[in-house]
């Protein structure tokens, strides 16, 4: 049985202050984050990134030839998987310059790949994409409803997003690590709040494709 809890809010900071803190955090930890994928034991310690990559690749294998927008693309591990699974074109956006350096090295030589550095809300990425990915992203957003609306305007077929829920074992440690030690504000969600936000942004048919004790994955179709 899934128990919904009231979402805990990140500390109130201006959008750009919060964004700068997130950028600094991931610039410092890009190589360590990338290294999670190279160590099989990390799959059990931090399953979210692995699961997100597998779900994205599975989605592309079911819809080969799709165009993909990956918001918060990180070091290119998801990109590698979805391109191999059949994506026709891939665009990734990330705040972290170091993350994008790793992504460029990993994706060098692959055609139809575009990588953009900066805040996606201020980006000039135009047009619509068949599939929009937001994996491990919503945790760090200062204005999630605005972000969901932005994604809906650029999504023609399907959004795949992940959300972290509050849980009493890891939750306090996680917030201490990010917010107190590194001044990087984060959020937690429950199913009801995530569904309401996506519905208000103009997504319909919200489907919880995978649920776990620490989070869940959502597939949503734009209206």
Note whether residue 1 is domain-resident. Answer: no
Note whether residue 14 is domain-resident. Answer: no
pLDDT tens for each residue of the chain, 223 residues long: 222 322 333 333 344 567 899 999 999 999 988 887 776 655 555 566 888 999 999 999 999 999 999 999 999 999 999 999 999 999 999 999 999 999 999 999 898 999 999 999 998 887 899 999 999 999 999 999 999 999 999 999 999 999 999 988 888 998 998 899 988 999 999 999 999 999 999 998 899 999 998 899 999 999 8
Report the pLDDT value the prediction gives residue 42, as an integer from 0 to 100. Answer: 53
Quote the domain boundaries for residue 208. Answer: 20-222
Note whether residue 112 is domain-resident. Answer: yes
Note whether residue 4 is domain-resident. Answer: no
Note whether residue 9 is domain-resident. Answer: no
Q: How far is CA 15 from CA 20, 21, 37, 223, in A?
A: 9, 10, 30, 28
Residue 144's nearest CA partner among 3, 10, 31, 2 is 10
Note whether residue 166 is domain-resident. Answer: yes
Report the pLDDT value the prediction gives residue 48, as an integer from 0 to 100. Answer: 64
Report the pLDDT value the prediction gives residue 14, as an integer from 0 to 100. Answer: 44
Note whether residue 118 is domain-resident. Answer: yes
**Exposure letters 142-155 (e unless 16+ CB within 10 A, then b):** bebeebbbbbbebb
CATH number reported for the structural domain that contains residue 71 in this entry: 3.40.50.150
Note whether residue 83 is domain-resident. Answer: yes
Q: How far is CA 123 from CA 45, 120, 177, in A?
A: 34, 5, 29
Report the pLDDT value the prediction gives residue 30, as an integer from 0 to 100. Answer: 92
pTM of the model: 0.88
Instruction: Provide the number of structural domains found in the chain.
Output: 1
Report the pLDDT value the prediction gives residue 39, as an integer from 0 to 100. Answer: 63
Structure tokens at 53: 């990559």
3-state SS assignment for residue 123 = coil
Pairing of strands 155-164, 113-117: unpaired
């Amino acid at each position: 049985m899934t128990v919904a809890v009231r979402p805990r809010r990140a500390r109130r900071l201006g959008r750009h202050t919060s964004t700068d803190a997130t950028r600094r955090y991931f610039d410092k930890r890009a190589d360590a984050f990338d290294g999670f994928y190279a160590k099989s034991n990390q799959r059990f310690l931090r399953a979210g990134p692995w699961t997100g990559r597998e779900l994205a690749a599975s989605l592309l294998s079911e819809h080969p030839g799709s165009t993909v927008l990956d918001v918060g693309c990180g070091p290119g591990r998801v990109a590698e998987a979805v391109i191999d699974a059949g994506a026709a074109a891939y665009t990734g956006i990330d705040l972290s310059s170091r993350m994008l350096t790793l992504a460029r090295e990993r994706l060098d030589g692959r055609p139809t790949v575009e990588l953009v550095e900066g805040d996606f809300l201020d980006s000039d990425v135009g047009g619509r994409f068949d599939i929009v990915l937001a994996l491990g992203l919503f945790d760090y957003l200062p204005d999630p409803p605005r972000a969901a609306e932005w994604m809906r305007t650029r999504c023609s077929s399907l959004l795949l997003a992940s959300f972290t829920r509050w849980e009493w074992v890891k939750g306090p440690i996680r917030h201490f690590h990010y917010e107190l030690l590194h001044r990087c504000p984060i959020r937690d969600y429950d199913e009801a709040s995530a569904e309401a936000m996506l519905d208000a942004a103009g997504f319909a048919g919200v489907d919880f494709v995978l649920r776990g004790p620490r989070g869940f994955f959502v597939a949503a179709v734009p209206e």
